[in-house]
Chain A
Amino acid sequence: MSTANDSWAIEVKGLSKSFGAKRVVDQLDLQVRRGEIFGFLGPNGSGKTTSIRMLCGLLTPDAGRGQCLGYDILSDSARIKREVGYMTQRFSFYEDLSIRENLEFVAAVYRMPRQRTVVDEALRELGLSDRQKQLAGSLSGGWKQRMALAACLLHRPKLLLLDEPTAGVDPSARRDFWAEIHRLAASGITVLVSTHYMDEAERCHRLAYLAYGKLLAQGSPTELVTTSGLSTWTVIGGDIDRLQHELLQLSASEQVVPFGNSLHVSSADGAELERQLQSYFERPDLRWTRDQVRLEDVFIHLMRGAADNYAEGAAR
């Protein structure tokens, strides 16, 4: 049943999907190691949700092949469903059922042994034992997300697919959530999580960046920063707004982004940027420091490249 390499939880090649004339996922190659937290990043509409749905058998790929937990994604989706926990972007448990009833439904559908005990334990771990009779629809966003995660984990899946699980959740709940994700990964569960948050991206072992359905980069956060070849400078002082406007005119400056009282200037061509900035370096009212390149800079850089390619493609 399992393919040659058992160390991959997910291994797909050339995965493609179109809706009508629109190619939503284009030739996606993805490799996710067992037990790692794999981040899925990309702007809205870049094909993240579609890719995740193809991995767990909710959508049939137009082209491509691969395996998920050793099962063929095209022919064995029934087995994949049994061992994967999929948390949808939108809360998709029953709002007119209580927390307990939802969990009981999931336990029964997966034909778990000792369902009552399993549900009791899950409720206790969630800290929802007292509110188990409350309707799921009346929970706040953060609690809904915790309930959904508990429900996805109920059948002890080997792979978790989380589609923007922390959208609309407050920072402290998000921190708790990520602590839980790391605990799960440490226990051997593979986690694939899509997100828009950069701090969350940095918590992942490895990342993939998608735009317009294409995979633009894959690797650990440090690898992505290094291979991007970007250089970043930070400047404080002076009239920030005017300075930003001026710096944007420079041919070498790719991104000029204000952060509070400072500006971040980055470019793929570091040497040229330094040459063009020379006159600004000499201004006494400005304090320049060489800064670390951040993931956000890398992704925006990747996005621009992709947008250009897309425009060229369209013009042809």
Chain B
Amino acid sequence: MIGRFSFARLGAMVRKEFIQVRRDRLTFAMMIGIPVVQLALFGFAINSDPKHLPTAVVVEDHSAFSRSLLASMQASDYFDLVETHARIDAAQGMLRDGDVQFLLTIPTDFARTLVRGERPALLLEADASDPAATSNALAVLDPLVRSAMTAELRGPLASLATASAPFEWNVHRLYNPEGITQYNIVPGLMGVILTMTMIIMTALGVTREIERGTMENLLAMPVRPLEVLIGKILPYVLVGYVQVLVILLASHYVFAVPIVGSLAWLVICVLVFIVANLTVGITFSSIARNQTQAMQMGFFFFLPTILLSGFMFPFRGMPHWAQMLGEILPLTHFLRLVRGIMLKGYGVAESWPNLWPLMVFTAVVLAIGLKRYRQTLD
């Protein structure tokens, strides 16, 4: 009766926290203000030049031209041919799931039509939801393939290697056909803003009680650590959803970002992400000795999150070790989720690979927080 978790006591904590959040007008205004200001500021895109982009190739024409073409792509820094014998439906699945950035299809009879001088078409499908990640690679592709072809066109075929290319490119920019930066930035901003505000607000939660002296009283009462931690998290879930609402409204009415997937599923995935960040904040709060320390920890976490998650710079442009670090961060997975749902129409199955890491992250961090929560003033 004494040691067990009590929903009545949790209810008391939540009510108290709610009233305190509501009374703190300035903070509340900030939480609504931050998304608005950020959205207004991030009207520009950050360009980069990512290389080694995973590429799948569907070869329907086994000819010297195809082999030469693949060899020259492999030799360039931009493409990593992760799959060269793909079946078309499997390859398209890889593109959709984000396993590859490009899908090149060499159609049947490519060599024959090329030799006839009929300018056959190569199909390149690109995941353009992050335009910065694909644009440079696309720019080098044409001259690359052309020089590969020229090398093959010898002797009687030399006449084909003239000024105009002997073949055509069909480039399909999928998910974001016009390469609109806002399509990428605006959903990403949702993750960044949630990370920033959720972590900082809760990071101050326990330390504020310590600094105001109210912790002594709280500890003298029979509340369990889990009740305190969850009680401090729950009100901010609502605050987080208010922010999400602001961002979604802005992305729809101001930036005209489409929502291809289910809005309800997006709302559920957002919850998982919000809770992950709130646990980080509350754990910082139970480790830190005062509010200043808690803030510093918040920023210490925020910086790599911004840099390594794929928000600032394309994820695939980072070295391997940085990608490994990035895979731990909740924002990395949330960016894939939110872009996937809004731009590619991800459902439950496609979201799962990025959903479970968020859940594992939350559980581990909460366990650390509970372990570090001090039940005495020692």
Contacts and interface: CB of A to CB of B under 8 A. Distances in A.
Interface of A: 53, 56-60, 78-79, 81-82, 84, 86, 88, 90-97, 101, 104-106, 108-111
A108 B227 CA distance: 13
A109 B24 contact: no
B214 interface: yes
Give the interface size class of chain B.
20 to 34
B216 A91 contact: no
Do most interface residues of chain A lie in helix, strand or loop, or is the interface mixed?
Answer: loop
Contacts of B16: 94, 97, 101, 105
Contacts of B89: none
Do most interface residues of chain B lie in helix, strand or loop, or is the interface mixed?
Answer: helix
B8 interface: yes
Given A96-B24, A105-B15, 16 more contacts: A58-B376, A59-B376, A59-B377, A78-B2, A81-B221, A81-B222, A84-B220, A86-B217, A88-B213, A88-B217, A92-B212, A92-B216, A92-B217, A96-B19, A101-B16, A111-B6
A59 B377 CA distance: 6
B214 A92 contact: yes
A78 B222 contact: yes
24 contacts: A58-B216, A59-B377, A60-B378, A78-B222, A79-B2, A81-B222, A86-B220, A88-B220, A92-B213, A92-B215, A92-B216, A93-B214, A95-B212, A97-B23, A101-B19, A104-B12, A105-B15, A105-B16, A108-B8, A108-B11, A108-B15, A109-B13, A109-B221, A111-B9
B115 interface: no
A94 B221 CA distance: 14
Given A58-B216, A82-B222, A92-B217, A109 B20 contact: no
B368 interface: no
A88 B216 contact: yes
A108 B12 CA distance: 6
Contacts of A104: 12, 15
A79 B3 CA distance: 9
Contacts, number: 77
Interface string B142-176: 00000000000000000000000000000000000
B221 A106 contact: yes
A78 to B, nearest CB: 5
Contacts of A57: 220, 376
B223 interface: yes
A90 B220 CA distance: 14
B12 A109 contact: yes
Contacts of A60: 376, 378
B214 A53 contact: no
B6 A93 contact: no
Interface string B9-39: 1011101100110011000000000000000
Contacts of A53: 377
Contact of B217 (A79, A82, A93): A93
A217 B306 CA distance: 62
A45 to B, nearest CB: 16
B299 to A, nearest CB: 26
Contacts of A58: 216, 219-220, 376-377
Contacts of A96: 19-20, 23-24
A55 to B, nearest CB: 11
Contacts of A59: 376-378
Nearest to B227: A109
Most chain A beta carbons < 10 A, residue from B11, B20, B215, B222: B222
B35 to A, nearest CB: 25
A123 to B, nearest CB: 17
Contacts of A97: 16, 19-20, 23
Contacts of A101: 16, 19
B213 A110 contact: no
Q: Closest 7 interchain pairs by CB?
A: A108-B12, A92-B217, A86-B220, A92-B213, A90-B213, A78-B2, A81-B222
A78 B223 CA distance: 9
Contacts of A105: 12, 15-16
A96 B12 CA distance: 16
A311 to B, nearest CB: 30
A78 B3 contact: yes
Interface string B177-221: 000000000000000000000000000000000001111110111
A88 to B, nearest CB: 5
Contact of B2 (A82, A91, A92, A94): A82
Contacts of B2: 78-79, 82
